[in-house]
Amino acid sequence: MILAGEIGATRTRLAAFETEGSRLSRVVEKNYLSQEHSGLQEIIADFIKSEGIPVHRACFGVAGPVRGGRSKISNLPWVIDCRELAQQLKLDSVGLLNDLEAYAYGIDALDSKDFITLSEGIEDAEGNRAIISARTGLGMAGLFWDGFRHHPFACEGGHGDFAPRNPTEMDLLAYLQKKYGRISCERILSGPGIKNIYDFLRDSKKADEPDSLREQMKHAPDPAALISQLAKDGKADICAQTMSLFASIYGAETGNCALKFMSTGGIFIGGSIAAKNVSWMQDPIFMQSFLDKGRMTPLLKDMPVKIVLNDDAGMMGAARYTLVHKAFGGKNA
């Protein structure tokens, strides 16, 4: 039995998988609110006790950089150590990956129905791939192509500097700098980032906030979800402007990611924000911003661009990692 997990600042998902050759079959899954627990070990103990499963292999994708088998979770006061987890699970070793690296391992396990194509690119596109994913934060990962198969690797590109491209985005940068100081792309391309864009449009008087919406915002448990829903429904112009600016900046940064990873084999847009806001991602402004790279535009036109609809890619990727790297247990990640 393989124990796999996806650990984020908002929620932690654990699942047990059985294997049939190279195929994975999910036996059970359980979700936890991360902030309600002291750490991953506490959650693992609860999962094993409540589900009563034996664990023969394990791997976890975590929302933060992994160095020397340890990770400090971004936006959460947890430190995860693969050696401590191996000791807890009585295994020789446990895999510990950046969450987007785990996501990269899961891409090839998905079906065609799990994708929406924004750009076909050229036929039989081959080469490196890249993933960009906006959720609670902004993640990126690459898949190096060796001529035979892809090798996922992690990065922290979501924390790179935001580069404004026009006067409105320059105003947005200046607005956020007063609030936060240095501005990374994650400050804008994330759930909290959607609210940052909304606040900027409101406070700079670029859009009006109706009184009724102001009251809704005060009590909204998830302001980004409210903004995107009202934008979809066409019920608030400020929300539509927010999502349009978000899609434009997201398209531009996706293009930046594609260039940096030279992702001629395709770039994949993961995360719940894209999957739940497909209409905004399909707005021409996203691909226009993606392609607006001067002399590099022809290169980007050849790259397939796809939205990933299946939220299980990271979980399946963590489980697949234990199959690809038979050493688990062998050496620690």
CATH number at residue 243: 3.40.367.20
Is residue 331 one of the residues assigned to a domain? no
The Cα 77–Cα 9 span in angstroms is 9
Q: Residues 158, 287: one domain?
A: yes
pLDDT at 326: 66
Better-predicted residue by pLDDT, 48 or 19: 48
Percent share of the chain, pLDDT over 70: 97
Question: Looking at residue 37, which CATH number applies to its domain?
Answer: 3.30.420.40
Q: Specify whether 12 is located in the same domain as 157.
A: no
Position 124 in a domain? yes
Span 47-59, mean pLDDT?
A: 93
Instruction: Let me know: does 198 contact 230? Beta carbons within 8 Å.
Output: no
pLDDT score recorded for residue 146: 96
Q: pLDDT tens across 152-210, in order?
A: 999 999 999 999 999 999 999 999 999 999 999 999 999 999 999 999 999 999 999 99
Are 98 and 118 found together in one domain?
A: no
What is each CA distance from 87 to 1, 57, 92, 304, in whole angstroms?
Answer: 17, 13, 8, 43
333 belongs to a structural domain: no
- Domain with 52, as residue range(s), is 2-105+312-324
Is residue 330 assigned to a domain?
no
Same domain? For 277 and 222 the reply is: yes
Do 80 and 44 contact (CB within 8 A), yes or no? no
Q: What is the largest CA-CA distance in the chain?
A: 60
Q: Give the number of domains in the chain.
A: 2
